[in-house]
Structure 1
Amino acid sequence: MDQSTLILSLLFTFTALTTTLFSSGFAGTFDTQFDITWGDGRGKVLNNGELLTLSLDSASGSGFQTKNEYLFGKIDMQLKLVPGNSAGTVTAYYLKSNGDTWDEIDFEFLGNLTSDPYTMHTNVFTQGKGDREQQFHLWFDPTADFHTYSVLWNPHHIIFMVDEVPVRQFKNLEHRGIPYPKMQPMRLYSSIWNADQWATRGGLVKTDWSKAPFTASYRNFRADACVSSGGKSSCPAGSPRWFSQGLDLRAEDKMRLVQSKFMVYNYCTDSKRFPQGFPKECHLH
């Protein structure tokens, strides 16, 4: 076993332990913190509010949103994605503000044929502009069990995490002329929908409706965050650790390792897409 493989093995063994520990606590109740917003009964709150499921069939998908809006925080949710042949389906899990110049922090999970990997798609929008996609294959089967997908959003960084392992960082580089989401409160949304015109191999693989309904499951929501209402934000007592948290050297090493092993697309290396030069943030660290 080479050194990088050994490091990766140790890293993800530790990750599995932290996921098990996390899953026993911080269980949010979906009936009090969320609204199912569409789907005509395809979204369901179960187990006394501790489990939520969203389903997709040939007639419709479904979706939900938080009752609260947040302006900075650490948002955690455990998801178990559609098992089996999920090609053509997309499960979206994201923070988004209102209006034409919205901010958004995206996870999207692009389904695939049985035994082929899901693609985890990430993006950051500022003032209505995105085009900052990075995509990954995960180091586990995201349909076999629940895993924790987190966003740490503070005035300095946006950090995407999977089972507490950082996979992507978007820094506040406003001093270099790059907009950063910091003024607009966002709700957390999730939905499952049919995107077989583009999601799987550029639309080559279509949704097999004989496998419907396609169902994703959610549990253990936690928002350690500032709640925004009426133009004012109410933050947790004291000085929450996440408000100034970044990545230390060890965490940056983990992130680089994940990116080297599992990243399958990075907009900052797509020269065909940006023939006039890469976006400014691609050159800054």
Structure 2
Amino acid sequence: MTSLLQRFLLTCFIFFSDFIIPTWSRGPVYKPPSVEQLTDRFHPTSVAAKMSTLYGASNVHMKNDGSYVDISLDKNSGSGLVSNERYQHGFFSAAIKLPMGVTSGVVLAFYMSNSDVFPHNHDEIDFELLGHEKRKDWVLQTNIYGNGSVNTGREEKFNLWFDPTQEFHQYSILWNTHHIVFLVDNIPIREVIHNQASLSIYPSKPMSLYTTIWDASEWATHGGKYPVDYHYAPFVASFGELEMEGCVILKTNPSSTSTCSKSSTLLSVDPVDGNEYAKLTVQQTVGLNWARTKHMFYSYCKDTSRYKLLPPECDT
């Protein structure tokens, strides 16, 4: 009888271990499903060749002949980079390793924006990695703004299924006329479909790519309740394996809002214009549902205390 019970318990352990893996501080999380490696379709490029220092030059340190960079926050300054080109649609990805330790109030952002060219009517597509206000975890937030819709955030928040401070993990944005897809290690975690409901807030103008690390104590920790503790500075994030393939807007027409076209003399070819980028595959849809069911803990579309009337795209 004891032998049968032991065999039964061992069988149960093996079965459930295929679905649950230990995590670094929050208890068990579910093992991610297999998905297509979208990052394999594009080519890594040099950070040094494609991006320039935005601010905090003393806290920007190129590595490995410019293929990687460390950006850091200390009590004097944060730091950041911006792409040399502006893009209308494309695939944008980077491998990032986050600072360890007590990181309350620290934010690492990997995002697209055109606020420099369209200050009153700008678009954004945001990955924001938030140092947790109490624990040593990091929280992932995604957000979009379209046509200056800065008064209505469209945030969604996720607990990660890995420790982002131990190894590099890929954060990717796919943006075209059909949808915007946020991916983590090639798993879609959010899809914003371009349709009538989202038309007014769908990012539509050319954008630059940014990465920044900064003190967000006031914004990210309830008005500064858990500010950055600079006893643990510098907070160093590593960034590399950069992929930037989009329709480049030539500098001769910096405020162009034209749609990418293979026949345009002002625009380059859109690399994500084909049918294979128009919708998620079956595997990607499984991954999306997994991420949202198991790891998303906040969506603006479920925040009825914030919105008396939910935004129209929440009904689709």
Q: Which residue of 1 aligns with 2:230?
A: 209
1:180 maps to which residue? 202
**TM-score between the two structures when normalised by the length of structure 2:** 0.79
Q: Secondary structure at the match of 2:165?
A: coil
* 1:99-114 correspondence to structure 2 within 5 Å: 99=118, 100-112=120-132
Matches within 5 A, 1:164-203: 164-174=186-196, 178-182=200-204, 184-200=205-221, 203=224
Indicate which of 275, 280, 295 corresponds to 1:262. 295
Query: Taking structure 1 as reference, are residues 177 and 34 closer, same or farther at Cα in structure 2, changes over 3 Å only?
Result: closer
Please list the CA deviations of residues 209-245 of structure 1 after superposition, one character each: whole Å capped at 9, or x if unmatched: 11111111101101121111124320267x7557743
What runs of 5+ residues in structure 1 fail to find an aligned partner?
none
> Residue 74 of structure 1 contacts residue 150 of structure 1 at CA under 8 Å; is this kept in 2?
yes
1:71 to 80, 88, 91: 88
Identity of aligned pairs, percent? 32
Q: 1:177 and 1:26 mapped to 2: Cα distance?
A: 31
For 1:242 and 1:188, the matched residues in 2 are separated by 25
Of the two, which has the highest radius of gyration? 2
Question: Paired residue for 2:269?
Answer: 235
> Can you list the C-alpha shifts for 1:12-46, whole angstroms capped at 9, x where unaligned?
3747x969x96xx9332122111012104111212
Residue 28 of structure 1 contacts residue 222 of structure 1 at CA under 8 Å; is this kept in 2?
yes
Does the 8 Å contact 2:145/2:201 carry over to 1? Answer: no
Give the Cα–Cα distance (whole angstroms) in 1 for the partners of residues 158 and 176 of structure 2.
23
Return the TM-score normalized by structure 1. 0.87
**Cα drift, residue 208 of structure 1:** 1.3
State whether structure 2 residue 315 is matched by structure 1 residue 283.
yes
Per-residue Cα deviation, 1:107-144 (whole angstroms, up to 9, x for no partner): 00111268632111110100011411001110000111
Deviations 1:91-116 (A, max 9, x none): 11100113110111000011126863
C-alpha contact 1:178 1:281 (8 A) present in aligned 2:
no
Letter in structure 1 aligned against 2:32: F
- The amino acid across from 1:173 in the alignment is N
CA distance in 1, matches of 2:17, 2:177: 35
Q: Taking structure 1 as reference, are residues 152 and 11 closer, same or farther at Cα in structure 2, changes over 3 Å only?
A: farther
* AA matched with 1:281: E
Q: In 2 relative to 1, CA 117–193 (structure 1 residues): closer, same or farther, beyond 3 Å?
A: same
Q: Take 1:51 and 1:251, find their aligned partners in 2: how far apart are those partners?
A: 28
Matched residue count: 277
Of stretches 219-228 and 191-200 in structure 1, the one that deviates more from structure 2 is 191-200
| 2-structure distance, mates of 1:94, 1:260 | 24
The partner residue of 2:242 within 221, 233, 258 is: 221
Give yes or no for contact 2:217–2:227 (8 Å, CA) kept in 1.
Answer: yes
Q: Does 1:127 align with 2:152?
A: no
- Residue number in structure 2 paired with 1:41: 58
Asked if the contact 1:84–1:114 (Cα under 8 Å) also holds between the matched residues in 2, the reply is no
2:197/2:313 contact within 8 Å kept: no
SS for the counterpart of 1:145 is coil
Provide Cα deviations, 1:133-168, integer angstroms capped at 9, x if missing partner: 001110000111100000000101000000100000
Aligned-residue CA RMSD in angstroms? 2.8
What is the Cα deviation at residue 206 of structure 1?
2.0
2:47 alignment counterpart: 30
CA distance in 2 between partners of 1:208 and 1:173 (Å): 44
Residue type matched to 1:274 in 2?
Y
**Which residue pairs with 1:86 in the alignment?**
103
- Distance apart, 1:204 and its partner CA: 2.5
Contact persistence 2:32–2:287 (CA under 8 A): no
Deviation, 1:174, is 3.1
Select the residue among 305, 308, 311 that pairs with 1:272: 305
Is the contact between residue 34 and residue 287 of structure 2 (CA under 8 Å) also seen in structure 1?
A: no
Q: Does 1:147 align with 2:169?
A: yes
Q: Is the 8 A contact 1:73 1:243 kept in 2?
A: no
Amino acid across the alignment from 1:233: L
2:160 to 138, 141, 160: 138
| Aligned mates of 1:13, 1:248 — CA distance in 2 | 13
Partner of residue 160 from structure 1, selected from 169, 182, 190: 182
CA deviation map 1:186-225 (0-9, x unaligned): 1100111111123246633221111111111101101121
